Amino acid sequence: MRCAWLLFLVLPAFAQPPSERIGTIDFYGYGTLDAASLGAVLPFHEGGGMPSDSVRESALRAVSKVAGRQAVFSRVCCLPDGRSSLFIGLAEPGSAPNAYNPQPQGDSTLPKDVLRIFQQLDKHFVAAVKRGASQEDDSQGYALFDDPRSHAGQLKLRSWARAHTALILHVLADSRDARQRAYAAEALGYADRSPEQIAALVAAAFDSDEDVRNNAVRALGVLATVGPEVTSRIPAAPFHPSPSFGYLDRPQ
């Protein structure tokens, strides 16, 4: 799962890429708590470098102490300028834990030709992010990067997915291999829009594997940019939006 919803992208350290800098910091689930007070205890800031594991853990302890409940931390790559976003979530008091789908037990896999497309996409995307060139166009309901090589690979994926949608749906629902399901969720976002596509992505948003969930939600988010003709088909109930959902206010 690439671009705005790609979690924890690992890049070579010989030259700090834009993704290793903080573009935004957002809090979720803080409700009536003072967001500014939560942000004030962070030992890092927007525009600075990504915190190390030890700094991150220290920050989470500090936020948890101020909030009075457990905080969790996620990193997402990438913003249009290549920088990453940090998300700090707070569990709602008394909320039930998320319920995820049982892991499938089937043996189905995607064919090698589409796996090669993904390998090339990964390679080109990493190179583009290192250059700070992670912009994309979502207007057609599937992501197309501005980077020419990534763009060409995504068009190949689009062509393949349109011709093999039934196989993608089967692998996403059947494969015990989380990596296969994650690729299937991403590929499904490039298939022709249909009720089956949306239903499968909504189901995959509750997969037992976080990468599958990430790719499914990412695909749904890009699909939603098309407008009401798509958003009206995506059921809101499974996602249980909370009234205390919120962003950490920051200067524009």
> HEC profile for 22-60?
EEEEEEECCCCCCHHHHHHCCCCCCCCECCCHHHHHHHH
pLDDT of residue 11: 37
pLDDT of residue 5: 40
Q: What is the pTM of this model?
A: 0.74
**Tokens (6 digits) for 144:** 């197309």
Between CA 107 and CA 87 the distance in angstroms is 35
CB 200 within 8 Å of CB 169: yes
Average pLDDT over residues 85-93: 85
**Least confident segment among 56-65, 150-159, 176-185:** 56-65
CATH architecture of 3-90: Roll (3.10)
* Residue 107 CA: distances (Å) to CA of 73, 170, 189: 33, 10, 22
Q: Please, what is the average pLDDT of the chain?
A: 85
